[in-house]
Homo-oligomer: A and B are copies of this chain.
Amino acid sequence: MKITVAGGGNSAQTMAADLALLGHDVTLFDLPEYASSIAAAMSSFTLEKYGSIDTRGPTGLARLANVTTDLGEAIDGAEAIFIAVPAYAHPTFFEAIGPHLRPGQIVAIMPGNWGAYRLRRHLLSRGLGEGVYVAETDLCMHICRAAEPFLGPGKVRVVLERGAVRLAAVPRADTAHVMERLSPVYPVLQAAGSVLETSINNSNIIAHGPLVLMNAGWLEHTGGDFMIYRDGVTPSVGRVTDAIAKERDAVAHLFGFPILSTRNTYEDTRNARWVLDPCEIGPPDLKHRYISEDIPFGLVPLSSIASTLGLQLPVTNAMIEISNVSNEVDYWADGLTIETLGLPRGGSAEILEAVADLGGAPK
């Protein structure tokens, strides 16, 4: 399949390498302002993929069809465009990509973090994207790292390949078509009920707040130079993580989702071999996407929607408040809320419909 991967971070570069090794025709694209992140790949048209302890897929030198910051070149003729950038960069990418999209193309945001809903809304407001399929996943395809100091540029490393990743399109009736076309690419994909479900089902938004905020002193003192999942997930960090998971479960329950099991979040983690992998050193500070993405685009919309439906999330709110003060920002104002998402203040059925069926009838 002819696929364009947009982004220059861990996930985008790893997907590009992985898909190329799987035999696809892959273009890696990043916006000109982020060109440095894909500079190594751009000079060689290759990425070297390493496996790690829990890797099953192909590894080795991946040859990319194209590596470019030219948007027209990147989008033209692509059957699928996978956007793998932090949610705070979504509006910039959507603005850039929107006018280039052509009927029949699939844009999948991986992970979604409300990206599919926001992209669909963006396209509708600009009168763009007719006949385009917009979808998102709940998670990244891999736990992976790119271009870290011990890897060097042009190299990516897969720590864990996920065994199941859920996908939904908006409007939700499009999900079947997207699944039909993307399942051959990623057999682990499973259809989710809606993009509300995939956005809420991202385990990063549960795990990263307590992980960072309850290790804030250690992270800032060491610049993140310790094994954060192995040593920093202590009993109280695990309990706060589970408490947020429970609050998220309660929100999902209001919508009737088949929520992922999030009980004992870290019992699974601590049994996983990847927590022993050197990828799991901590972020250098609290501006990292673990906070700057997962709080405003994860916990803030969760809490805002819950609150509209009469459900208070005290532990989730605690994470938001501490993040705000720590980073001297107001994630309540900067993040996604019922207001900024343009969602109705009605019941759960109205919110679900507004998110899942935005733009009306299926193609």
Contact = CB atoms under 8 A, between A and B. Distances in A.
B237 A232 contact: no
A83 to B, nearest CB: 31
A260 B214 CA distance: 28
Interface string A209-240: 00101111111110000001001111111011
Which of A221, A231, A237 has the most C-beta atoms of chain B within 10 angstroms of its own C-beta? Answer: A221
Contacts of A233: 217
Given A314-B317, A322-B315, A322-B318, A235 B220 contact: yes
Which of A214, A234, A236, A318 has the most C-beta atoms of chain B within 10 angstroms of its own C-beta? Answer: A236
A274 to B, nearest CB: 18
Interface in A285-334: 286, 314-315, 317-319, 321-322, 325-328
B215 A236 contact: no
Interface residues of A, number: 33
Interface string A171-212: 000000000000000000000000000000000000000010
A243 interface: yes
A361 to B, nearest CB: 43
A79 to B, nearest CB: 44
A328 B239 CA distance: 8
A217 to B, nearest CB: 4
Contact of A221 (B231, B286, B315, B321): B231
Contacts of A319: 318
Contacts of A286: 236
Interface of A: 211, 213-221, 228, 231-237, 239-240, 243, 286, 314-315, 317-319, 321-322, 325-328
19 contacts: A213-B214, A214-B216, A215-B215, A215-B216, A215-B217, A217-B232, A217-B234, A220-B236, A220-B237, A221-B234, A236-B326, A239-B328, A240-B322, A240-B325, A243-B325, A314-B321, A315-B322, A317-B318, A318-B319
